[in-house]
Structure 1
């Protein structure tokens, strides 16, 4: 009888583990960029612990702003690929983890971490 209880408990635990969704992968750290607002002011944008494997359109430099972002700094623990267009389209450039950065000549509107 005890063996049946142990087997039932083990099977129950296995079912719970299988049903529990895994935590979403995320890059740890901060990604920063600069941009000019529609009103003409210089601003900074940042992403804290951004999700991995998902394209992120950057705030302030989307289709509503004719000026793209610039001067990205990748301070996360993952590679960041920045794109000149929204939805991770257009020309791209990869920034290494922790120390990756570029000058204001690199224009960007979206990023993906992997």
Structure 2
């Protein structure tokens, strides 16, 4: 039987494409697993993340949760269009 300890409860929302953007998101994302963001591309990253989960999210500029450019997003935090990301992992 799966438990909520294996997933962040809630939604992680973001936008893709030109402003004002196309809304996208992940519902109840699995914890400790890297999630490449649907709609993000090499030329156009996702942006404007909203961590509406109960877990801390670490957002990476690169795919596969790689690279030195990342930002830690606390649960409930909503950030603006300036933060660019292509992948995310939840605690």
Equivalenced residues, count: 88
Q: Does 1:104 align with 2:81?
A: yes
Aligned-CA RMSD value:
1.8
| 2:70 counterpart residue number | 92
Aligned-pair CA distance for 1:58: 0.3
Moved >2 Å (runs of 4+): none
For 1:20-77, what per-residue CA distance to the aligned partner results, in whole angstroms no more than 9, with x for missing partners?
xx6260000000001107xx982111100000000000000034xx110110000000
Q: How high is the TM-score relative to the length of structure 1? A: 0.71
| 1:74 counterpart residue number | 51
Q: Does 1:23 align with 2:18?
A: no
Q: How high is the TM-score relative to the length of structure 2? A: 0.88
| 1:34 counterpart residue number | 15
Q: 5+ unaligned residues in a row in structure 2: which ranges?
A: none
Which protein has the larger Cα radius of gyration, Structure 1 or Structure 2?
Answer: 1
Q: Distance in 2 between matches of 1:88 and 1:52?
A: 13
User: Higher helix proportion, which one?
Assistant: 1
Give the structure, 1 or 2, with the largest relative contact order (CA under 8 Å, sep 6 or more).
Answer: 2
